[in-house]
Structure 1
Amino acid sequence: MTNKNVDDYLTEGMYGVRLPKDEERKKFLGTLRERIVLALNKGQIMSDSGLRALEEEMKSHPDASLLINGHVSHRFLKEEKELAKKYNIPYTTITDEENDTDIGAVLTYDYAIDKENIFMEEKTAADSDDKKEESSSLLSKLKKWF
């Protein structure tokens, strides 16, 4: 047990007890990375690009809960809340006025699961195929000129 001095007691009284991994909790809407199934950033929430991945993870993890960033407008969260109701997953809106994060929603447990890849991949195979077609068509147009 450590010996606390007066400054420690005053700091705890003014700001509360320090939590382990406090920066991680601020980033992931109050939870730890080791508990997260899927984390979506604000852009993925607003564009609904993460909706399919969120639904798949909700099917696979029916005991998880959804944490939603309260700084994202409610009109962008309609589909996510409907999915949570559809799969009986409780959701909570977290509004932290002191800290800002780019995370829009987190599907999480109350205990550690240590999933390695918690973020949705931005690029898909269709995106890379489209880029190949664009580059090949541009190249073919240049070849026709010469």
Structure 2
Amino acid sequence: MDDKVLEILERGIYGTPETKPDERRLFLSTIRERIFLALTKRQVIRKGMYNEVISLIRSKKGIRLYINGDIGYSFYANYVKEGSKHSVPFTVVAPEKPTPIGLVIATENQAVEEKKIFILDEFYEADMERSNKNSQT
């Protein structure tokens, strides 16, 4: 059978192969190269909003918020409201596996290659420490 026909049949049966599935599970369905900023769950839950998030929402075009569906709406509502003010869409993602990531600000399909995508504070440290312990068990 012709390779092209076989490829079409396999895609019909199994679906299109997904790129970087581990990154997509960690980063709420997107990949690292598209991310401007990622917050952990505790960072999203903490009272108030990070200035870095507000600045990105106000200044960047073509971005989307990806929100971890394991977090209650009341904890991320302020991010959705701020995004709505600036026509930034959001997607609530139901993670397949546990992830420490609570919110991601990224483009939908364009690489941005940000060097630093995390805010390194005590909430980040606590979530990453917990995540590392869980992955070792």
TM range (shorter): 0.7 to 0.9
The one-letter amino acid paired with 1:25 is R
**Deviations for 1:73-101, whole angstroms, at most 9, x for unmatched residues?**
111011111111111111111113x3221
Aligned counterpart, 1:122: 121
**Which ranges in structure 1 are unaligned for 5 or more consecutive residues?**
124-146
CA distance in 2, matches of 1:99, 1:89: 26
**Deviations for 1:4-28, whole angstroms, at most 9, x for unmatched residues?**
x9xxx5xx846x4431211001100
CA distance in 1, matches of 2:56, 2:121: 16
Q: Which structure has the larger Rg?
A: 1
Aligned 1:20-35 pairs, distance under 5 A: 20-35=19-34
CA distance in 1, matches of 2:120, 2:48: 10
CA positional deviation for 1:104: 0.5
Aligned counterpart, 1:111: 110
**Which ranges in structure 2 are unaligned for 5 or more consecutive residues?**
123-137
Aligned counterpart, 1:45: 44
CA contact (8 A) 1:50 1:120 kept: no
CA contact (8 A) 1:62 1:87 kept: no
CA positional deviation for 1:49: 5.6
* Equivalent position SS for 1:40: strand
CA positional deviation for 1:32: 0.6
CA distance in 2, matches of 1:92, 1:118: 19
CA distance in 1, matches of 2:47, 2:21: 29
CA contact (8 A) 1:40 1:50 kept: no
Aligned counterpart, 1:58: 57
CA distance in 2, matches of 1:17, 1:105: 26
CA distance in 2, matches of 1:29, 1:122: 21
Q: TM-score, normalised by structure 2?
A: 0.74
CA contact (8 A) 2:38 2:101 kept: yes
The one-letter amino acid paired with 1:22 is P
Aligned counterpart, 1:92: 91
**Deviations for 1:36-58, whole angstroms, at most 9, x for unmatched residues?**
01100000000046532210111
CA distance in 2, matches of 1:50, 1:73: 16
CA contact (8 A) 1:70 1:93 kept: yes
Aligned counterpart, 1:137: none
The one-letter amino acid paired with 2:53 is L
CA positional deviation for 1:113: 0.7
